[in-house]
Amino acid sequence: MKLTILFVTLFFGLGVTSNAQEISLDDLLFDIKAEEEEPVYLPKKMLFSQRMLWGEKGLYRGIGLAPKVLTAETREKELRARRTMFKIHQATGLLAAAGMITQAILGPKLYNGNFGIRNAHKRVALGTNIVYGTAALLSFTSPPPMVNRKKFDNIKLHKLLSIVHLSGMVATNVLANQASEGKVNKKWHRAAAVTTFGAYVAAIASIKFEF
């Protein structure tokens, strides 16, 4: 009996020692896999428009414009849509900048009494408003990114400046109508346009200058 116990002890004892020394690559990979986290598809922090439209109980999910249940596949499609919207945002944003530069050339000529370009000024304004509006709409209605940290960075500055130039665009248009009706001095329209252009250029430049 004692001999059997000794044999069993030795057999299993040796077995354990041997196993302890044989750690395989699969064991390491198993350990890594065991600690993997559950996927999270939406960032904790979202802009109010993103939460309102794309949040888990967002409007788009409610009316069926976006999938009701978030999975890796559905969220991937949303990110692809975001990327496309982002590219169009960049293209239309640059077109709007071109429109603003054109106005910066036409505007002073109109101020100096060259009324022949009044219609051209108006048409460029309409075009600029359309491309600017498209760029803004795409920005405010795009699905949220995967990451949205609290830290203030150049992209947050870009968004902050968008509030300034969006307000400026509205003011420029309102003052343009009022100036043409003689209700306000056209210098206010020019001041609003210059402020808008300044904020807009700064917003584009903020993409380049990271901090």
Give the integer Cα–Cα distance in Å for 23 and 35: 18
Which of 8, 14, 23, 104 binds other proteins (CB under 8 A)? It is 23
Q: Name residues contacting other proteins, limited to 107-166 (CB under 8 A).
A: 145-149, 151, 153-155
Least distance CB 145 / other proteins (angstroms): 3
Phi, psi of 165 (to 5 degrees): -75, -25
Mark residues 39-78: x for contact with other proteins by CB under 8 A, - for none.
x-x------------------------------xx-xx--
Least distance CB 138 / other proteins (angstroms): 15
**Binding status of residue 21 toward other proteins by CB under 8 A:** yes
Q: Residue 75: how many CA atoms within 13 Å on its side-chain side? A: 14
5 vs 72 by CB, closer to other proteins: 72
> Looking at residue 93, what DSSP letter applies?
H
Mark residues 74-103: x for contact with other proteins by CB under 8 A, - for none.
-xx--xx-xx------x-------------
Give the integer Cα–Cα distance in Å for 73 and 131: 32
Give the integer Cα–Cα distance in Å for 3 and 63: 77
Phi, psi of 25 (to 5 degrees): -60, -35
